[in-house]
Structure 1
């Protein structure tokens, strides 16, 4: 049995995968020539040479200008996909926590041109009538979520005067707005980046027959939503990617600019 000496390599029951992972463990530390890979893995030179060539064909390994082996572009793409998957899982956990606390359906929206897209959602009722489906484009109109988007766009663009400008200013200052939307009560909270720009809008929605307090959310629900928006903002800043919507752009183009939820 071949002894693999590359540090940090977890052994599986499949020998060829163990050897490939040993090679990648060496390249993970930086560029390495063939003799260095042989030395650090403890594998025979013909074995390393054969596996490296095969891994090059798969895009897992590349050769740099000096002829040394480096991590391939395919692994970089896989790492990015894993990063987005983890970020998406954490985001859904956050939305689920808000739903558990408030009992409302929770969504995260982002802007795409003159439309908005629901990039993630956790519904209170899986098949409730009137519940929207995620990842579809909606024209920005006069509903609470759109009003938050418009508050930032009109303020930054200098659009709107008089009462309209005052309303936008109030929304920006407060950070949230609530109101009716298609028979339900909606609370929309701004998710801002570290530069104060709007990155997304977090929304809570409850069908009208299930709302309380005369058609408005109480202070505890609003506080929960605002705190959740702040946590989401922090995660987006740390990830360095305030636009999960980018992953959905192709899907939106296939749906078409006139599509609505």
Structure 2
């Protein structure tokens, strides 16, 4: 069967990506798997690396890049956002605090859905579309904690949290922060996973430390984990 699209360079780039689907590969292994010439395989792999469709592991081998995961997450975003309104509202009603949903975009995290704390009083408002740092906050911890070792190491370089913090996040299944992103504000976050099991978003409950205290996870970890699990189930029901 002819799988050619008629656009030669695109077909060859897909060959490289398909070869990496099996796992990390040296240049020699790429050449063997794709039957491309060594210069062509190298040129395409480096070009795909520039666009973050390909990356390198700690041994310098080519691997599939983070951009593919971001595109896959975006493909499922309609399902995620369709479920988010109800799930975030339930978490808000249970916790009495504001709730947000974040997705990573490059070196930032973007709020893609949010519901505000009802009534009057202090609240933590994060508007939909707001771009926040990946260097602080419980949502940043969640979005980084399950990354591959090399990207995790890079993300920790200037972060307010440490590798030990992220090990605790992976062990518990949720993260908390106290005045990390903004003075006087705390938050608790949990992962949302796509059909493949990869973390594609973080759901967060946030509010003033006056109410959340110095250990906000004691109050809201159970609620935010349940919200993350419901969103994960929503993505799984629409995935393959």
**Structure-1 residue corresponding to 2:91:** 98
- CA contact 1:155–1:169 (8 Å) conserved in 2: no
Change (3 A) 1:125 1:220: closer
Match of 1:166 in 2: 164
Larger radius of gyration: 1
Q: Does 1:216 align with 2:215?
A: yes
- Residue 196 of structure 1 and its aligned partner are, at CA, apart by 2.9
Distance in 1, Cα, partners of 2:237 & 2:113: 19
**Counterpart for residue 77 of structure 1:** none
Using structure 1 for the length normalisation, give the TM-score.
0.51
TM-score, with length taken from structure 2? 0.55
The corresponding residue for 1:123 is 116
The residue that corresponds to 1:247 in the other structure is none
Number of aligned pairs?
155
For the aligned residue pairs, the C-alpha RMSD in angstroms reads: 3.0
Query: Any gaps of 5 or more consecutive residues in structure 2?
Result: 1-76
Question: Is 1:135 paired with 2:129?
Answer: yes
Relative to structure 1, the CA distance from residue 126 to residue 117 in structure 2 (aligned partners, 3 Å threshold; closer, same or farther) is: farther
Question: For structure 1, which segment, 87-96 or 150-159, has the greater mean C-alpha deviation from structure 2 after superposition?
Answer: 150-159
Call closer, same or farther: CA 1:144–1:220 in 2, change over 3 Å. Answer: closer
Equivalent residue runs for 1:3-152 within 5 Å? 84=78, 88-125=81-118, 131-152=125-146
Match of residue 48 from structure 1: none
Contact 1:155 1:165 in 2 (8 A): no
Q: Whole-Å Cα distance in 2 between the matches of residues 219 and 180 of structure 1?
A: 13
Deviation at 1:188, TM superposition (A): 1.2
Structure 1 stretches lacking a partner, 5+ long: 1-82, 242-261
Write the mapping of 1:182-193 to structure 2, written as runs, cut at 5 A.
182=182, 183-193=184-194
Change over 3 Å in CA distance of 1:220–1:137 after alignment to 2: closer
